[in-house]
Amino acid sequence: MEVFQIGESNSVANTRITFGPEDYAGIHLPHDDAIVVMLRVNGTRVGRILIDTGSSADIIYYKTLKKLHLQDHPLKPMATPLTGFTGDQLMPLGVIDLPVVFGESPRDVVSRVSFVVVNTPSPYNIILGRKALNDIGAIASTPHLKVKFPTRSGVGTLRGEQQVARTCYQASIPKHVAQIEHASERTESYDSAENILLHNPAGPTGGPMEDTEEFDLGDGKITKIGTVLPGEDRELVKACLLRNRDIFACEGEAMPGIDREIAEHQIVTKSGMRPITQKKRKQSREKRRAIKAEVEKLLKTGAIREVKYPQWLANPVLVTKSNGQWRMCIDYTDLNKACPKTPFPLPSIDAMIDSTAGFKYLSFMDAYSGYNQIRMSQADEEKTSFVTEEGLYCYKVMPFGLKNAGAEYQKMVSKVFKEELGEIMEAYIDDMVVKSGTGSDHVAHLERVFAKMRQVGMRLNPKKSFFCLSSGKFLGFIISERGIEAHPDKCQAVINLKSPSSIKEVQGLTGRIAALSRFISQSAMLCKPFFDLIKKKTQGFEWGPECQEAFGKIKEYLSTPPIISRPINGEPLYLYIATNEEAISTALVREEGGVQKPVYFVSRVLRDAETRYPTIEKNAFAIVVTARKLRPYFQAHPIRVVTTMPLRKALGQFNVAGRLLKWAIELSEFDITYLSRTAYKSQALADFIVQGTSGDFIPVESVWEVYVDGASSDKGTGLGVEIISPDGDRFKYALRVNFNPSHNVAEYEAFIAGLQLVAATGAKSIKIRSDSQLVVNQVLKEYKTQDETLIKYLRKVEQLIGDFDKVLVEHIPRGENETADALSKLAKSELDKERPIIVLEIPSPSIQLLEMVVFQTRHEEEWYSPIWMYLTKGILPRDRNLARKIKRWSLEFTIVEEELCKKGYHHPWLICVGRAKADELLKETHQGICGSHQGPRTLGKRIMRQGYYWPSLRRDAEDLVRRCAQCQFHARISHMPPNNLKPITSPWPFDIWGMDILGPFPQARGNLKFIVVAVEYFTKWIEAKALSLITSQKITDFLEHQIVYRYGIPNAIITDNGRQFTGAPFKNYCRGLGIDINFASVCHPQSNGLAEVSNRTILEGLKKKIEGTKNTWPEYLSEVVWAYNTTPRSATERSPYALVYGMEAVIPMEIVHPTLRTINYSTQRNAERRMEELEVIHELREEASARQAEYQRKMRRAFDKKVAPRHFQPGDLVLRKAAAAGKHIGKMDPVWDGPFEIVKSAGERAFYLKDAQSKVLANSWNASDLRKFYP
> 503-562: per-residue pLDDT in tens?
777 777 877 777 777 777 777 777 777 777 777 666 677 788 888 888 887 777 777 777
3-state helix, strand, coil in the chain (%, to 5): 35, 25, 40
Average pLDDT for 435-463: 89
- Closest to 643 in 3D by CA, of 661, 665, 626: 626
How far are the Cα atoms of 204, 414, 426, 630 from residue 432, in angstroms, in the given order? Answer: 12, 11, 6, 24
- Please give the pLDDT value at position 657: 57
- Please give the pLDDT value at position 1200: 62
Q: Distance from CA of residue 176 to its chain's centroid?
A: 29
pLDDT band, residue 344 (cuts 50/70/90): confident
pLDDT band, residue 209 (cuts 50/70/90): low
- Cα angle value 125/126/128 (rounded, 5°): 160
Omega before 77 within 30 of 0, i.e. cis: no
Q: Is the pLDDT of residue 287 over 80?
A: yes
- Closest to 958 in 3D by CA, of 988, 937, 975: 937
Between the ranges 359-363, 814-818, 964-968, 984-988, where is the mean pLDDT highest? 359-363
- Please give the pLDDT value at position 829: 38
Which pLDDT tens digit goes with each residue over 74-85? 888 887 788 776
- CB under 8 Å to 965, separation ≥6 — which residues? none
| 501: three-class secondary structure by DSSP | coil
pLDDT band, residue 652 (cuts 50/70/90): low
Q: How many angstroms separate the CA atoms of 559 and 40, rounded?
A: 17
The more confidently predicted of residues 630 and 1 is: 630
- CB under 8 Å to 474, separation ≥6 — which residues? 205, 206, 353, 356, 364, 426, 431, 433
Q: Is the pLDDT of residue 1175 over 50?
A: yes
Percent of the chain with pLDDT over 70: 81
Q: Are 793 and 745 in contact (CB under 8 A)?
A: yes
Average pLDDT for 1084-1106: 76
Can you list the domains of the chain with their CATH numbers?
Answer: 2-172 (2.40.70.10), 264-482 (3.10.10.10), 483-561 (no CATH), 564-693 (3.30.420.10), 703-846 (3.30.420.10), 865-969 (1.10.340.70), 992-1199 (3.30.420.10), 1213-1268 (2.30.30.140)
Q: Are 53 and 720 in contact (CB under 8 A)?
A: no
The more confidently predicted of residues 1186 and 224 is: 224
Using a cut of 0.75, tell me whether the model's pTM lies above it. Answer: no
- Tell me the β-bridge partners of 674: 641
| 934: three-class secondary structure by DSSP | coil
- Tell me the β-bridge partners of 993: 1016, 1053
- Please give the pLDDT value at position 952: 85
- Please give the pLDDT value at position 295: 92
- Please give the pLDDT value at position 285: 86
DSSP state at residue 1100: H
User: For all residues of the chain together, what is the average pLDDT?
Assistant: 78
The 10 Å Cβ neighbour count of residue 1224 is: 7
- Closest to 48 in 3D by CA, of 126, 116, 117: 126
Average pLDDT for 1076-1093: 70
Average pLDDT for 682-687: 36
Average pLDDT for 126-132: 91
Buried b / exposed e along 1039-1070 (16+ C-beta atoms within 10 A):
beeebbeebeebebbbbbebebbbeeebeebb
- Please give the pLDDT value at position 729: 66
- Please give the pLDDT value at position 706: 92
- Tell me the β-bridge partners of 846: none
The 10 Å Cβ neighbour count of residue 1182 is: 11
